[in-house]
Amino acid sequence: MSRIDERFRSCRAAGRKALITFVTAGDPEPGATVPLLHALVEGGADVLELGVPFSDPMADGPIIQRASERALRHHVNLKAVLRMVAGFRTRDQVTPVVLMGYLNPIERMGYEAFATAAAAAGVDGVLTVDLPPDEGVEFVAALRARGLQAIFLFAPTTSAVRARQICDLAGGFVYYVSLKGVTGAATLDVTDVGARVAAIRDLTDLPIGVGFGIRDPETAARVAQVADAVVVGSALVAAVERLQQDAARIPDELRRYTGALRTAMDAAPATGSSCP
């Protein structure tokens, strides 16, 4: 059983929803990333999403775009991100790590070489924002051959045909993008999210995570009532940005904020599925 599958299994056994946290690798500087990942776990994160910096992060709003820019100024590339994951694994062998980014750096490395290196570093899953499922068969095969899981996005506009393709290829969990637009945008309609998550449940037995637009513990708690996992990114990256000139304070701030998310989610009334 993969680390991702095991973590969702343990969530289900404990009757709680998973908290997935996102930060950008190398932000605000490369040496900060591994301590930040540990701080997130200490705060209550169940799964870690680690953003691979990219020069044209088209799915991301200004907050995460600026995080990529800060990391790229330090020459953080895909190989550097894998070294960070390996560094994290020296202390933590159980928390799942999902790389989230764009296809170009992976294509430059080559599917087989990337999958081999990612597995060796301790990566568990890969979410490539700009890889449509009908073009992802070769890449997914390379991942699966090395025990890695491919995570795919559902959008509010995803067609029925595309949704079935996603479910055929996906592993670990599926990620429902709760808003039309980029990360950190707009205001979340949790009632609508619940209806769309219910429709996705008809297509897959995988856990369903919901992200984009979750700005605070209260919203996280509401989403936890309709999804199996809550994904929080921009709010955490904003904290990193706010404290970038006082980087020693960042781990404590992320630990505190993650703890607030975890507490709110655990206090939410138990409804819906819990990590099926």
Q: Which of 5, 49, 124, 241 is catalytic?
A: 49
Contact predicate 183/59, CB 8 Å = yes
Is 60 designated active site?
A: yes
Is 135 designated active site?
A: no
Backbone phi and psi for residue 18, each to the nearest 5 degrees, phi listed first = -80, 145
Tokens 């680390």 found at? 3
R_g of the chain computed on alpha carbons: 17
Of 226, 188, 232, the residue nearest 17 (C-alpha)? 226
CA 237 from centroid of its chain's CA atoms: 13
User: Rounded to an integer, what distance in angstroms lies between the CA atom of residue 141 and that of residue 139?
Assistant: 5
Coil, helix or strand for 100?
A: strand
Query: Exposure pattern of 134-155 as b/e (b: 16+ CB <10 Å)?
Result: eebeebbebbeeeebbbbbbbb
| CA dihedral of 155, 210, 202, 276, whole degrees rounded to 10 | 150
Contact predicate 78/55, CB 8 Å = no
192's CB contacts (< 8 A; 6+ apart) are none
Gap between the terminal Cα atoms of the chain: 15
Q: Which of 5, 27, 46, 60 is catalytic?
A: 60
Token pair, residue 182, equals 């980029």
Token pair, residue 142, equals 């390379």
* Angle at 67 (CA atoms; ends 64, 71), nearest 5 degrees: 145
Active site residues: 49, 60
